[in-house]
Structure 1
Amino acid sequence: MNSFVHKTLVVQLRAGGTERCPVLAHLSYDAEDPFAVTAVFGHDGRVLARWRLDREMLSDGLTRPVGVGDVRVRPAATGMWHELRLDFLGDYRPDGSRHHAVVFAWAPAIAAFLRETHQIVPPGHEHVPVDELLAEILSGAE
């Protein structure tokens, strides 16, 4: 069985008071890290940002606002599009404000990606082999 899902989507990025511009979002999920989705945003062959997102938070964000701190997710609608809005807060600036970027993704595409991840590891069935990890760490400490 496949334990990895990857999707590339065109999303809209708004940062630093600019208008929206299209960028690629490469979403990946690996059953070895069952709680996380990695999002890599790129443009013209350059990586703009890489974020590890909580899979459950991303799923919940399709229907209601979630998140505190550096990442916040909520549904948004503009016209015929049903969008997912992802707010990313970055490093602090010298004036005390923070860098802020907003990504708008087509919500049905995100939902389809998440459905594929749920086929690999259903919600509530995530497992991290903590006992095995601790045994490995302790065996190397001697």
Structure 2
Amino acid sequence: MSTVIEQPVEARLVAAAPRMQSIPAALRYDRSDPFAVRMAFPAPATLEGVDVCWTFSRELLTAGLETPQGRGDVRIRPYGYDRTVLEFHAPEGTAVVHVRSEEIRRFLQDTGVLVPVGLEHLQLDLDQELLELTRDA
């Protein structure tokens, strides 16, 4: 069984223009980092022309489907019946994208099969992490 789930999603960039531009993006989940979800945007989709990846909690993404969530760099909220808004705040500015809620739900369902919610801690090798932290001490 694979330890990584990656799902392309259609993200629509909210801008000043009347029509939202579609940009490629992908949601990624890795069993070795069981609490985190990553959303990656390839270089052509970013203003800087470099790949950009945001990391946030699976719990935040799940809760953001139902009610506004987040107070930091990543904020997520439902938008209408079938969309979810993800806001990414950085010193350079804010990116706001819409993603179909069903795509997010499907992704979260797949992550739950790989690592059930509430059992993330079983994926961590705390002894190895502690060894790495204290190696140079």
Q: TM-score, normalised by structure 2?
A: 0.85
Indicate the residue corresponding to 1:74 in structure 2: 77
Q: What is the Cα deviation at residue 47 of structure 1?
A: 4.4
| Gapped regions of structure 1 (runs ≥ 5) | 93-98
Match of 1:141, SS?
coil
Q: Report the CA distance shift for 1:110/1:47 in structure 2 as closer, same or farther (over 3 A).
A: farther
Contact (CA 8 Å) 1:35, 1:126: kept in 2 or not?
yes
The answer on 1:136 being equivalent to 2:132 is yes
- After the TM superposition, list the runs of 4 or more consecutive aligned residues in structure 1 that deviate by more than 6 angstroms: none
Q: What is the Cα deviation at residue 141 of structure 1?
A: 2.2
State the percentage of identical aligned residues: 34
Q: What is the Cα deviation at residue 43 of structure 1?
A: 6.3
Bigger shift: residues 65-74 or 44-53: 44-53
Structure with more helix by fraction: 2
When the two chains are superposed, the root-mean-square deviation of aligned CA atoms in Å is 2.0
Q: What is the Cα deviation at residue 101 of structure 1?
A: 1.3
Question: Highest Rg: 1 or 2?
Answer: 1
The answer on 1:123 being equivalent to 2:117 is yes
In the alignment, the residues of structure 1 paired with residue 30 and residue 85 of structure 2 have an alpha-carbon distance, to the nearest angstrom, of 23
Indicate the residue corresponding to 1:96 in structure 2: none
Match of 2:128, SS?
helix
**Equivalent AA in structure 1 for residue 23 of structure 2:** V
Match of 2:55, SS?
strand
Contact (CA 8 Å) 1:40, 1:47: kept in 2 or not?
no
Contact (CA 8 Å) 2:43, 2:52: kept in 1 or not?
no
Q: Report the CA distance shift for 1:74/1:18 in structure 2 as closer, same or farther (over 3 A).
A: same
Match of 1:51, SS?
strand
Indicate the residue corresponding to 1:60 in structure 2: 63
| Gapped regions of structure 2 (runs ≥ 5) | none
Equivalenced residue count is 131
**Equivalent AA in structure 2 for residue 32 of structure 1:** S
Match of 2:109, SS?
helix
Q: What is the Cα deviation at residue 136 of structure 1?
A: 3.4
Q: TM-score, normalised by structure 1?
A: 0.82
In the alignment, the residues of structure 1 paired with residue 132 and residue 88 of structure 2 have an alpha-carbon distance, to the nearest angstrom, of 35
**Structure 1 residues 84-129: Cα deviation after superposition (integer angstroms, max 9, x where no partner):** 101111115xxxxxx1111100000110001000001011101222
Q: What is the Cα deviation at residue 130 of structure 1?
A: 2.5
